[in-house]
Amino acid sequence: MKMSSEPSATRTRRNTHIAKGMNVREHFKEQVLPAWRRAVLKVGSSLLTGGHGGLSDVHARGLARFVIASRATGREVVLVSSGAVTAGRTMMAAHGLEGGRGRSYHFANRQALAAIGQTHTVELWQGLFECPLAQVLLTHDDLRNRRRYLNARATLEELLRYGVVPVINENDSVAVDELTFGDNDNLAAIVAGLIGADLLLIATDVAGLYTGDPHADAHAQAVDEVVALTPALLAMATGTASPFGTGGMRSKLEAAQKAAAAGIDTILFSGRNPEIAELLVRGKLRGTRVRSPHTRPHARTHWLLHVPASSGRIQIDAGAVRALRNNGASLLPTGMVAVEGAFERGDVVEIAAVGERLPVARGIAQYGASELRLICGCHSDAIRERLGYTYGRAVVHRNDLVTLPGAMRRTVGGSKADA
């Protein structure tokens, strides 16, 4: 299994045998955290219970300090927090009700407990912050549907602009059994891609990735860095979850794999050790870094270049062409000249100079074709007046847009240019 081009001794402490309870300083080396401006921090149920039944902030306090310190430096952190089902079960038990008496978690039971416990989970986090928090509940279908995907992203972007910390969880109360994320590790990876995060941080109840279960195998070795998530490495990870959670180390690596595909590095670290959270504040890490083989812009560009476009297109004037090509700008309605065909908000559309056959760019439309015809050529400030609502100032946001170089313009969509 190839972990790095560096000597293996610099990546993995080969001569260190891990015993349960050993300080992480003895087997994970200190690394520099990659530069980041926006991160998703996932915290599992086992860290919010202290290893026991009800909710506890004993481990959450250190993680909250990391978020607060990061915000003070101008960074943004989105929390993906488990704990609702555990909190609901504890509340039911405290009132002597049946749902809290150790019943097996059939799906309806889990949904009911989540509904009871959601507010208590957010209340725990809110008690650790002076700034306001916002609860955001997502389902698989929210992120599978492009329009709802864009709506979710717009909401999270607006909350971050307000200086609010979003606290995200799966909407267990209404999720369909076959369309769940499976666990919040995977949800966190999807959210990281959704908001264009630079980093995915997964706080776990072990210090990072090992070659075996460190609680059962005294010879398990710490893995400081992963440069390729191979099938062998995934098979090495235990899939065992704690009694209070749904994910194990394998699910965390699967989440890291999803994040890597979007050009995002993942950090696995101990959420039980407050020293690790303090290191993160100082831009350092003791844990496992899973590197992405792509840059985030490269991953996004690759997707936009290859995803099928709608049959419609947007025609733009020469000034808009220059702004897209030379300045990396968003496409605004004032630069539009005409709208061809039919497409919906969230569809990928081609963008062409007026009178030209070949596209100069393609991107995700923030408005449908019928809406764009109503705002074509107008100033962004007039969108609300013309439509009665707004999805933002841009027709296609620069983060959702890729310009096409000459060679690419000759091939995208099967078109061929004259020599």
Mean of pLDDT values over 224-233: 87
Quickly list H helices, 336-404: 369-375, 383-387
The answer to whether residues 283 and 316 touch, using CB atoms and an 8 Å cutoff, is no
| Lowest mean pLDDT, pick from 163-172, 234-243, 288-297, 330-339 | 234-243
Residues 140-178 have pLDDT tens digits of 777 767 778 888 888 999 999 999 999 999 876 655 454
Residues 83 and 111 in one domain: yes
Whether residue 398 has pLDDT greater than 50: yes
Residues 388 and 382: their CA atoms lie apart, in Å, by: 10
Same domain, yes or no: 269 and 314 = no
Q: Identify whether the C-beta of residue 402 lies closer than 8 Å to the C-beta of residue 304.
A: yes
CA–CA dist 324, 307 (Å, integer): 20
**Range of lowest pLDDT (61-65, 71-75, 189-193, 349-353):** 189-193
Q: What DSSP designation does 12 have?
A: B
Task: Answer whether residue 242 shows pLDDT above 50.
Answer: no
Backbone angles phi, psi at 390, to 5 degrees: -145, 145
Count of structural domains within the chain: 2
Using pLDDT thresholds of 50, 70 and 90, give the confidence band for residue 304.
confident
Closest CA to 211 of 17, 32, 5, 25: 17
**54: containing domain:** 13-19+26-294
Q: Please, which residues bridge with residue 44 across strands?
A: none
Instruction: Write the DSSP symbol of residue 345.
Output: T
Tell me: do 304 and 276 sit in the same domain.
Answer: no
CATH, residue 184: 3.40.1160.10
Mapping DSSP to helix (H, G, I), strand (E, B) and coil, where does residue 24 land? helix
Confidence label for 211 from pLDDT (cuts 50, 70 and 90): confident
Res. 125: pLDDT tops 80: yes
- In a domain, residue 8? The reply is no
Distance CA 197, CA 37 (A): 8
Q: Rounded CA gap, 407 and 395, in Å? A: 25
Higher pLDDT, 252 or 238: 252
In a shared domain, residues 236 and 276: yes
Query: Residue 353 region, left (φ>0) first, then alpha (ψ -120 to 50), else beta?
Result: beta
Place of tokens 């070949």: 358
Q: Cα–Cα–Cα angle for 304, 309, 314, nearest 5°?
A: 100
My answer on whether 159 and 272 are in the same domain is yes
Beta strands in 312-413 (DSSP E): 313-316, 336-340, 348-353, 359-364, 401-403
**Over the stretch 48-107, which tens digit does the pLDDT of each residue have?**
885 556 788 999 999 999 999 999 999 999 999 988 887 788 778 777 766 554 444 566
What distances in angstroms separate CA 2 from CA 5, 11, 108, 226, 230, one per listed residue?
Answer: 8, 11, 44, 9, 9
Residues 288 and 314 in one domain: no
3-class DSSP state of 165: strand
Residues in the chain: 419
Please tell me the pTM assigned to this model: 0.72
Residue 314: pLDDT above 90?
yes
